C-alpha cells in the first residue's frame, strides 16, 4: 500500500466519527474569502491540526479548518483555508484534502482564489470563472502515483473545468445581478508577486490572471473524476506599463470586499446540487 493511501484512510476514518461522510459538495475558500460560512448551517468545525496527516495553513488569511454543514438542503464540506507550494509543502500534501473529501463522498468541487488580473478589461473586485489554466508550478501532484487506486496515471485535461458547473455559476451570477467574466488562469510558484517582464510573458502565452494555487487541486480532481469549477477574484491590476506596488494586505482587503458577491453565487449553485 502506498503511504498516501493509508494517510487518506486515516483522515477519512477520523472524520467519519463526526458523521462527516454525508457531504455532497466540497468547497475550497481562497485568500480573503470566507463569508460563505455565514450562509451555512454548520454542524461541525474541525481544525486542520486535529485531522490525521492534514497540513497546517501558514498564511494569515487562511483560518485552517474544515467545516461541515448544509446550504439549503445540500450537505457540504468547506475548506476555510488551503495550502500552497510556497509554504514548503509537497504537491501531494497540498492536494491531500481533495482526495479526502472525495473519499468522504463529495460529488462536486467548487474552488475560489485571489488572482492578479492581466487582461486590461479586468478590474479590482471582478470575478472570473476559470475556463482553462496554464500550469507553471515546478511540481505535479500526480508524480510518483502509479497505482490505479489514485486514478489514471495520465488523466485527460482537455476540459479541466466542468462545463455544466460553469454554466450554473454564470446563471447564478446573472440571477442575483452580478457579472461573471471568463478567463485563463496561470499558476506560478510564488510567494513573490511578478515582475513587469513576467506579466508580459504570461499575457503572451495566453493567461488572463495569475495566482499561486488552485491548479494542483484541479489536476487531482480530474484524476479522481471529481467535476470541479473555480472562480478568481481579481485583487490587483497587473498592467506592466502602469504597474503599481501592491501589498498582501491590499490583496486581502480587495478579496474581502468581493467575498459577499462570490459567496452568494456559490450559495445559489450549491442549493441546486
Q: Which three cell numbers stand for residue 272?
A: 441546486
106 Cβ partners below 8 Å, 6+ apart? Answer: 23, 24, 25, 26, 77, 226
Average pLDDT over residues 82-107: 96
pTM across the whole model: 0.95
Q: Are strands 209-211 and 180-187 parallel, antiparallel or unpaired?
A: parallel
Q: How many domains does the chain have?
A: 1
What is the percentage of the chain residues whose pLDDT exceeds 70? 97
Q: What share of the chain is helix, strand, coil (3-state, %, to 5)?
A: 35, 25, 40
Task: Tell me the pLDDT tens digit for each residue of 169-206.
Answer: 999 999 999 999 999 999 999 999 999 999 999 999 99
The DSSP 8-state label assigned to residue 158 in this structure reads S
Alpha-carbon separation of residue 44 from 40, 59, 69, 186, 254 (angstroms):
11, 23, 7, 34, 29
Check which CATH number belongs to the domain holding 54 and give it: 3.40.50.1580
Per the structure, the complete domain to which residue 127 belongs is given by 3-270
Tally Cβ neighbours within 10 Å of residue 148: 8
Amino acid at each position: 500500500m502506498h503511504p498516501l493511501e493509508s494517510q487518506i484512510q486515516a483522515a477519512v476514518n477520523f472524520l467519519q466519527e463526526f458523521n462527516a461522510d454525508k457531504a455532497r459538495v466540497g468547497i475550497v475558500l481562497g485568500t480573503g474569502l470566507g463569508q460563505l460560512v455565514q450562509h451555512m448551517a454548520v454542524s461541525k468545525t474541525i481544525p486542520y491540526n486535529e485531522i490525521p496527516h492534514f497540513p497546517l495553513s501558514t498564511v494569515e488569511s487562511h483560518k485552517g479548518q474544515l467545516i461541515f454543514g448544509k446550504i439549503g438542503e445540500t450537505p457540504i464540506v468547506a475548506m476555510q483555508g488551503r495550502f500552497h507550494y510556497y509554504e514548503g509543502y509537497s504537491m501531494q500534501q497540498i492536494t491531500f484534502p481533495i482526495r479526502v473529501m472525495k473519499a468522504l463522498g463529495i460529488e462536486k468541487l467548487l474552488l475560489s482564489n485571489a488572482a492578479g488580473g492581466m487582461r486590461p478589461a479586468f478590474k479590482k473586485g471582478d470575478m472570473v470563472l476559470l475556463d482553462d489554466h496554464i500550469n507553471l508550478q515546478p511540481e505535479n501532484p500526480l508524480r510518483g502515483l502509479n497505482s490505479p487506486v489514485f486514478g489514471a496515471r495520465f488523466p485527460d485535461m482537455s476540459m479541466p473545468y466542468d462545463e455544466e458547473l460553469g454554466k450554473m455559476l454564470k446563471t447564478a451570477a446573472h440571477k442575483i445581478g452580478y457579472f461573471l467574466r471568463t478567463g485563463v488562469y496561470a499558476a506560478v510558484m510564488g510567494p513573490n508577486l511578478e515582475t513587469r517582464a513576467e506579466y508580459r510573458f504570461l499575457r503572451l502565452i495566453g493567461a488572463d490572471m495569475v495566482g499561486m494555487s488552485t491548479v494542483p487541486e484541479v489536476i487531482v480532481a480530474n484524476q479522481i473524476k471529481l467535476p470541479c469549477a473555480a472562480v478568481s477574484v481579481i485583487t490587483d491590476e497587473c498592467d506592466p506599463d502602469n504597474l503599481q506596488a501592491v501589498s498582501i494586505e491590499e490583496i486581502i482587503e480587495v478579496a474581502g470586499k468581493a467575498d459577499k458577491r462570490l459567496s452568494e453565487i456559490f450559495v445559489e449553485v450549491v442549493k441546486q446540487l
